[in-house]
């Protein structure tokens, strides 16, 4: 019995020691996608999703918190093996990194101070009229910045490191509007009050502004074809068995999985 147990333990240790380690970069300041809890641990939809992907491809995940604008450059120089941080798939980014198949497709929205004329916008055309020369806040390095530069050329952009800074400057009157994913707005609007911040116009996707991308994917270094295939297979299986849908309903309250 002793020899059997010892042998089993050695097999387990050997298996664990031989497991592939994947260093995942993430910007944990974008709830409910990812954030840091009271214990200092990364939590959120992307964390659950990424851990499940690693489980299915039999790899050990090591998560590293990094500012969003440093994620893809860090991937390119080998600091990370993958980036999972609500990264939208765009043609521009795909020239520098590879992407997995999309796992989510989150809607985007403008938010304005309560009482703003833009609050009455009901279409993209209305938004362009109301916010054409506005001062608009976005998070650095995002597709929202690209969408605004391309479609609101006369607007004044203010670039922020964190999304809560955008919400605070809206309340303080230093911004006319902000643009980010709807799910990221929800806790910010709820915390500051519907009497201070309101949504403007319809939910937005790449159908409205191509710069918003083709959904969210895992970013990988160029040429990691074997890893990409294994990840793609895992995502396809998770989409089919409803795992991504269940995770998104847990964290967002609705399904953002890419269909």
Instruction: Give dist(CA 130, CA 150) in Å, integer.
Output: 16
pLDDT digits (tens, 9 = 90+) for 71-124: 999 999 999 999 999 998 989 899 999 999 999 988 899 999 999 999 999 999
**Same-domain pairing of 97 and 113:** no
**Same-domain pairing of 167 and 220:** no
pTM (predicted TM-score)? 0.72
**Same-domain pairing of 76 and 10:** yes
**Same-domain pairing of 229 and 112:** no
**Same-domain pairing of 162 and 202:** yes
Examine the pLDDT at 5 and tell me if it is beyond 70. no
Which candidate, 40, 32, 26, 29, places its Cα nearest to that of 160? Answer: 29
116: phi then psi, degrees, rounded to nearest 5: -70, 145
Q: Which position has the higher pLDDT, 207 or 61?
A: 61
Which candidate, 102, 135, 121, places its Cα nearest to that of 206? Answer: 102
pLDDT digits (tens, 9 = 90+) for 179-213: 999 988 999 999 999 999 999 999 998 889 999 98
Contacts of 56 by beta carbon, 8 Å cutoff, 6+ apart = 234, 237, 238
Examine the pLDDT at 6 and tell me if it is beyond 60. no
Nearest 10 degrees: Cα torsion 42, 228, 89, 223: 110
**Same-domain pairing of 9 and 94:** yes
- Is 76 among the domain residues? yes
Examine the pLDDT at 11 and tell me if it is beyond 50. no
Give me the pLDDT at residue 13, please: 39
**Same-domain pairing of 207 and 218:** no
- Is 158 among the domain residues? yes
pLDDT digits (tens, 9 = 90+) for 120-169: 999 999 999 999 999 999 998 888 999 999 999 999 999 999 999 999 99
Q: Which position has the higher pLDDT, 170 or 259?
A: 170
**Same-domain pairing of 87 and 32:** yes
Evaluate whether 111 touches 127 at the Cβ level (below 8 Å).
no
Q: Length of the chain in residues, anyone? A: 259
Looking only at the bridges linking them, the beta strands covering 35-36 and 42-43 are antiparallel
Q: What is the largest CA-CA distance in the chain?
A: 78
∠ CA 139-35-209, nearest 5°, is 35
Which candidate, 241, 244, 176, places its Cα nearest to that of 216? Answer: 244
Rg from Cα positions in the chain? 20
Which candidate, 191, 45, 203, places its Cα nearest to that of 111? Answer: 203
Q: Mark 189-225 as b/e (b = at least 16 C-beta within 10 Å).
A: beebeeeebbbbbbebbbebbbbbbbbbbbbbbeeee
**Same-domain pairing of 205 and 118:** yes
Instruction: Give dist(CA 26, CA 212) in Å, integer.
Output: 19
**Same-domain pairing of 97 and 152:** no
Q: Which position has the higher pLDDT, 244 or 2?
A: 244
Q: Identify the residue whose tokens are 């938004």.
A: 127
**Same-domain pairing of 69 and 159:** no
Domain membership of residue 179 as a residue range: 108-212
**Same-domain pairing of 98 and 132:** no
- Is 257 among the domain residues? no
Q: Based on the structure, what is the number of domains in the chain?
A: 2
Question: What CATH number is given to the structural domain containing 41?
Answer: 3.40.190.10
Residue 25 is classified by DSSP as E
Give me the pLDDT at residue 192, please: 97
Examine the pLDDT at 223 and tell me if it is beyond 90. yes
| Residue 99, number of CB atoms within 10 A of its CB | 23
- Is 259 among the domain residues? no
């Amino acid at each position: 019995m002793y020899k059997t147990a010892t042998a089993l333990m050695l097999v387990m240790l050997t298996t664990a020691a031989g497991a592939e380690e994947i260093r995942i970069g993430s910007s944990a300041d974008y709830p409910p996608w990812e954030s840091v809890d009271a214990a200092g641990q990364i939590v959120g939809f992307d964390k659950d999703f990424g851990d499940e992907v690693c489980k299915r491809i039999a790899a050990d995940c090591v998560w590293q918190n990094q500012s969003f604008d440093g994620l893809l450059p860090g991937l390119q120089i080998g600091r990370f093996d993958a980036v999972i941080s609500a990264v939208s798939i765009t043609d521009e980014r795909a020239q520098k990194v590879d992407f997995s198949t999309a796992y989510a497709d989150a809607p985007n929205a403008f938010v304005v101070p309560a009482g703003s004329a833009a609050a009455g916008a009901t279409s993209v055309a209305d938004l362009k009229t109301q916010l054409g020369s506005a001062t608009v806040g976005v998070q650095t390095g995002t597709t929202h910045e690209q969408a605004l530069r391309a479609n609101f050329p006369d607007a004044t952009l203010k670039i922020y490191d964190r999304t809560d800074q955008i919400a605070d400057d809206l309340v303080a009157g230093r911004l006319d509007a902000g643009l980010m994913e709807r799910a990221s707005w929800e806790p910010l609007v709820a915390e500051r009050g519907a009497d201070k911040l309101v949504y403007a116009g319809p939910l937005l996707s790449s159908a409205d502004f191509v710069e918003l991308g083709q959904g969210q994917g895992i970013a990988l270094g160029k040429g990691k074809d074997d890893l990409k295939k294994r990840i793609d297979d895992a995502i396809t299986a998770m989409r089919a068995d409803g795992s991504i849908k269940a995770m998104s309903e847990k964290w967002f309250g609705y399904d953002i999985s890419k269909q």
